[in-house]
């Protein structure tokens, strides 16, 4: 079996932090600890500075009250945590990935709603172990809602996902416009990647299982497992196909609009929501000023293809959720204030205009809004079991090196310089190469 070796990097530092965090939580539970409250303002920078110095001891209340420290909080059985893993626009930025919301339930379900460009970095920052993230629901097939599938698929594969990746998404007006067709092409687009990885890693996580459902379904159940029911309603956004999602767990309800102009279906089926997430878009003037749209395009995109601030306000004012969340705009300059002013012309209730890594905990007595502490050194969270190798009894990869590449490219004199480190590794693990062959012979046909 010959293919590129994939470096599987174990997560020493972050793993130690998580271990320390768990020890810290246990210690905090065992003893009444006087928690320090800093005299300075509790900014996210303060929280990041605290994290950089954290020794794994008890987590002070000013952190847990105001910030979410990924990987350290266990949900109550009837609790839901929703995290914004992307809130921005199709051209994602360092500050904002494109659309992505992560839903975690108290019984351990983890579901990703949309995988917008750049969002996997936020999944990593949120310290979601790859073996937990196996279900992605797509609202529609615009890249700002699905382009990061590549990151979820391959990033999760090398980070410990043990099973196939399940992708849920709508059909289209024609078969070629649906999610199943898109995933067929996704597999083709990633064929070389899949073949080379599958030769060295467990091949199962490289498979995608598609759950395509009728985009016209109204309140149709597309997922009913582990106590979590997911329903869809059609959305109204640049042609047939897009949907909005309704997620129900433990008597609680989260609604995610995807991209849509407000619809009657939404008003009918998003009632009694605990957390109502609906897009709220730039004003036409902002589209002209920020994105350079010509006025006719700005008018169409800002009023009919998406939801204006006032229309968002009307939706949530009508539905009166416990907490409303708006997303889908560049959070720069005065944009947030202008959008909030538009919403507040119509709606005065609980509201978050989402930023990346904003986190909501939905409990019976309250819904909290906090920011996750973004550790710039975070790498994929450790999984519960080591990442298995490919089955050595599998047939060899169908596309090994040709003799042309081996004879012409292999720099034989390079091998001895690697010997001391690799000999030590061989003796430590009593393993020197594939199927017992010394690694030095690996390139020799």
What residues line the site for Zn ion (CB under 5 A)? Answer: 142, 144, 259
**Rounded least distance, CB 171 to Zn ion, Å:** 17
Residue nearer to Zn ion on the CB measure, 197 or 328:
328
**Rounded least distance, CB 237 to Zn ion, Å:** 6
DSSP 203: S
Burial class of residue 172 in the structure, from the number of CB atoms within 10 Å of its CB (0-12 exposed, 13-18 middle, 19+ buried): buried
Helix (H, G, I), strand (E, B) or coil at 224: strand
Residue nearer to Zn ion on the CB measure, 237 or 314:
237
**Rounded least distance, CB 328 to Zn ion, Å:** 6
* Look-up of token digits 């990593």: 124
Residue nearer to Zn ion on the CB measure, 141 or 201:
141
Q: Would you report the helix, strand and coil content of the chain in percent, each value rounded to 5?
A: 35, 20, 45
How many of the other CB atoms lie within 10 Å of CB of 367?
Answer: 19
Burial class of residue 368 in the structure, from the number of CB atoms within 10 Å of its CB (0-12 exposed, 13-18 middle, 19+ buried): middle
Spatial separation of the C-alpha atoms in residues 69 and 389, rounded to whole Å: 32
Tokens representing 181 are: 């067709």
**Rounded least distance, CB 278 to Zn ion, Å:** 12
**Rounded least distance, CB 144 to Zn ion, Å:** 4
How many of the other CB atoms lie within 10 Å of CB of 375?
Answer: 20
Residue nearer to Zn ion on the CB measure, 259 or 375:
259
**Rounded least distance, CB 285 to Zn ion, Å:** 20
How many of the other CB atoms lie within 10 Å of CB of 396?
Answer: 10
**Rounded least distance, CB 255 to Zn ion, Å:** 17
Spatial separation of the C-alpha atoms in residues 104 and 76, rounded to whole Å: 11
Burial class of residue 257 in the structure, from the number of CB atoms within 10 Å of its CB (0-12 exposed, 13-18 middle, 19+ buried): buried
Residue nearer to Zn ion on the CB measure, 199 or 339:
339
Q: Which residues pair with 232 in a beta bridge?
A: 220, 245
Count H helices and E strands in the chain, helices first.
16, 16
Pairing mode, if any, of strands 351-353 and 323-327? parallel
Question: What is the torsion angle, in degrees rounded to the nearest 10, for the CA atoms of residue 200, residue 202, residue 206 and residue 211?
Answer: 170
Sheet bearing 110-113, strands edge to edge: 67-68, 367-372, 358-362, 80-86, 100-105, 110-113, 135-137, 165-170, 208-213
Residue nearer to Zn ion on the CB measure, 148 or 259:
259
Residue nearer to Zn ion on the CB measure, 173 or 344:
173
**Rounded least distance, CB 208 to Zn ion, Å:** 22
Residue nearer to Zn ion on the CB measure, 146 or 198:
146
Residue nearer to Zn ion on the CB measure, 132 or 142:
142
**Rounded least distance, CB 242 to Zn ion, Å:** 7
Rg (CA), the chain: 24
Tokens representing 369 are: 């809004």
Residue nearer to Zn ion on the CB measure, 144 or 310:
144
**Rounded least distance, CB 90 to Zn ion, Å:** 7
């Amino acid at each position: 079996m010959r293919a590129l070796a994939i470096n599987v990097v174990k997560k020493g530092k972050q793993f130690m932090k998580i271990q320390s965090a768990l020890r810290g939580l246990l210690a905090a539970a065992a003893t009444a600890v006087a928690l320090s409250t800093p005299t300075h303002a509790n900014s996210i920078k303060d929280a990041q500075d605290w994290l950089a110095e954290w020794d794994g001891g008890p987590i002070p209340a000013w952190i847990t009250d105001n910030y979410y420290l990924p990987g350290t909080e266990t949900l109550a059985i009837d609790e839901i945590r929703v995290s914004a893993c992307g809130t921005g626009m199709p051209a994602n930025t360092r500050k904002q990935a494109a659309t992505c919301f992560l839903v975690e339930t108290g019984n351990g379900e983890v579901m990703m709603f949309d995988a917008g460009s750049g969002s996997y970095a936020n999944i990593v920052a949120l310290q979601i172990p790859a073996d937990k993230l196996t279900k992605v629901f797509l609202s529609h097939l615009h890249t700002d809602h699905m382009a990061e599938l590549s990151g979820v698929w391959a990033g999760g594969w090398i980070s410990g996902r043990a099973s196939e990746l399940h992708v849920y998404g709508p059909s289209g007006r024609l078969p070629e416009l649906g999610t199943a067709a898109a995933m067929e092409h996704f597999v083709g687009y990633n064929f070389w990647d899949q073949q080379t990885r599958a030769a060295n890693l467990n091949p199962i996580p490289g498979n995608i299982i598609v759950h395509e459902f009728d985009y016209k379904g109204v309140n149709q159940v597309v997922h009913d497992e582990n106590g979590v029911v997911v329903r869809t309603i059609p959305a109204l956004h640049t042609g047939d196909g897009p949907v909005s999602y309704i997620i129900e767990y433990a008597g609680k309800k989260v609604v995610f609009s995807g991209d849509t102009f407000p619809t009657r279906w939404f008003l009918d089926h998003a009632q009694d929501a605990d957390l109502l997430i609906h897009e709220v878009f730039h004003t036409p003037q902002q589209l002209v000023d920020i994105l350079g749209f010509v006025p006719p395009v700005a008018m169409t995109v800002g009023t009919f293809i998406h939801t204006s601030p006032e229309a968002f306000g009307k939706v949530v004012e009508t539905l009166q959720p416990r907490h409303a969340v708006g997303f889908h705009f560049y959070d720069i300059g005065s944009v947030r204030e202008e959008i909030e002013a538009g919403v507040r012309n119509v709606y005065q209730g609980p509201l978050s205009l989402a930023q990346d890594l904003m986190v909501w905990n939905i409990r019976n007595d309250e819904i909290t809004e906090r920011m996750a502490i973004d550790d710039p050194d975070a790498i994929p969270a450790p999984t519960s079991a080591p990442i298995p190798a490919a089955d050595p009894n599998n047939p060899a990869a169908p596309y090994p090196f040709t003799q042309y590449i081996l004879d012409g490219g292999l720099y034989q004199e390079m091998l001895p310089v690697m010997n001391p480190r690799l000999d030590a590794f061989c003796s430590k693990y009593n393993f020197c190469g594939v199927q017992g062959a010394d690694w030095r012979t690996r390139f020799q046909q």
